[in-house]
Amino acid sequence: MAAEKRCVIISASPEADIDFIRQNIQKDDYIICADGGLDTALKASITPNLIVGDFDSVQNTEKFPQVETISLEVRKMDTDTMHCVDVALERGFSNFLLLGATGGRTDHLLANLSILIYLSNKKAYGKIFDRYNDVTILRLGENIVETPVGTTVSIIPFGDTFAEVSYKGMSYPLQKGIVKVEYPYTISNKTVTNNACITLHSGRALLIIVHAKY
């Protein structure tokens, strides 16, 4: 069943980390390349299951002639990555990993972050992953953060004007704190256990787990 498999969408960030992307592809993943993500897949020696895009930013359109391809109009109302998400949802997928979705253009980054809200509204799970960050949407209720002690965790209201959150197992405790979008003070907290808990009582927010030191 499609819903039991993970759908990995490789987007076209010009700063895509080829080795990182290659290392995070699993054998049973269903892989979709979004436009210029096709070039990234080629560099990483990854064969996609599906290619989607208007191909305005692709250099190697002929490298996978046997792979299913959906060609889009250049003038359209959604991004190539968003179209990939819609196609995958129609095919029954509910678990998404977006690679090559950070870095480069800020407007594309914000659009990709918005996809996490879109997936949440569709009762699907989405994660944006790069070498430094693991980004998801906080679910209402308890969210267990299974990471090594000392991991940096940030909460940023996103898709709503505020988020009401509580922490357990974090260096800076919080009990039903109201975090407003214009003043996100819940930045750069640290875990003090390997199964910290963040509870979202209301609102909406990004959960950002930082996996590397800058």
In this predicted structure, what is the pLDDT of residue 202? Answer: 97
In this predicted structure, what is the pLDDT of residue 74? Answer: 67
In this predicted structure, what is the pLDDT of residue 66? Answer: 80
The pTM assigned to this predicted structure is 0.89
pLDDT tens-place string over residues 159-176? 999 999 999 999 999 999
Q: What would the mean pLDDT of 101-111 be, rounded to a whole number?
A: 89
3 has pLDDT over 70: no
pLDDT tens-place string over residues 70-101? 877 666 767 889 999 999 999 999 999 999 99
Give CA–CA dist 19/29, Å, rounded: 17
Bridge partners of residue 9, in order along the sequence? 32, 98
Q: Which residues, including other chains, have CB under 8 Å from residue 115's CB and lie 6 or more apart?
A: 81, 82, 85, 98, 126
Bridge partners of residue 208, in order along the sequence? 135, 154
In this predicted structure, what is the pLDDT of residue 61? Answer: 58
In this predicted structure, what is the pLDDT of residue 1? Answer: 46
Tokens, residue 3: 């819903």
pLDDT tens-place string over residues 166-210? 999 999 999 999 999 999 999 999 999 999 999 999 999 999 999
Domains along the chain? Answer: 2-131 (3.40.50.10240), 137-210 (2.60.120.320)
To the nearest 10 degrees (0 to 180), the angle between helices 80-90 and 106-121 is 20
Work out the mean pLDDT of the chain and round it to a whole number. 90
Q: What would the mean pLDDT of 122-135 be, rounded to a whole number?
A: 94
In this predicted structure, what is the pLDDT of residue 25? Answer: 94
